[in-house]
């Protein structure tokens, strides 16, 4: 018969068993800038940034501001 494996598909796919593979990812890379709530501010639209600033009670934060101005208000937060 052949070898018996704890992870049945390991013989077919090769490599280390799942419990030796780690948590995944290449590691060593810097995470994207995030707000205190874990949101990626760089990926947000102007409307999302406005909502984020208002939800934090930051002022000034209004629809007449640019995306960069809203981001600056959040960063000062």
Question: What is the model's pLDDT at position 64?
Answer: 95
For the purposes of burial, counting CB atoms within 10 Å of the CB of 70, is it exposed (0-12), middle (13-18) or buried (19 or more)? buried
Give every residue of the chain whose pLDDT is below 70, as ranges.
Answer: 1-38
The 10s digit of each residue's pLDDT in 26-45 is 554 455 455 555 578 889 99
Question: What is the model's pLDDT at position 32?
Answer: 47
Q: In the chain, how long is the greatest CA-to-CA distance? A: 73
Question: What is the model's pLDDT at position 19?
Answer: 58
The ranges assigned to domains in the chain are 33-77
**pTM of the predicted model as reported, rounded to 2 decimal places:** 0.52
Task: Return d(Cα 14, Cα 23) in angstroms, integer.
Answer: 18
Return the SS3 of 40.
strand
Which stretches of 1-77 are DSSP H helices? 10-13, 46-55, 67-76
Return the SS3 of 20.
helix
């Amino acid at each position: 018969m052949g070898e018996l494996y704890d992870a049945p598909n390991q013989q077919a796919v090769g490599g280390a068993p799942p419990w030796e593979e780690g948590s995944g990812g290449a590691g060593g890379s810097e995470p994207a800038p995030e707000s205190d709530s874990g949101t990626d501010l760089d990926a947000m639209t102007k409307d999302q940034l406005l909502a984020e600033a208002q939800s934090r009670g930051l002022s000034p934060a209004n629809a007449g501001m640019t995306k960069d101005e809203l981001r600056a208000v959040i960063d000062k937060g």
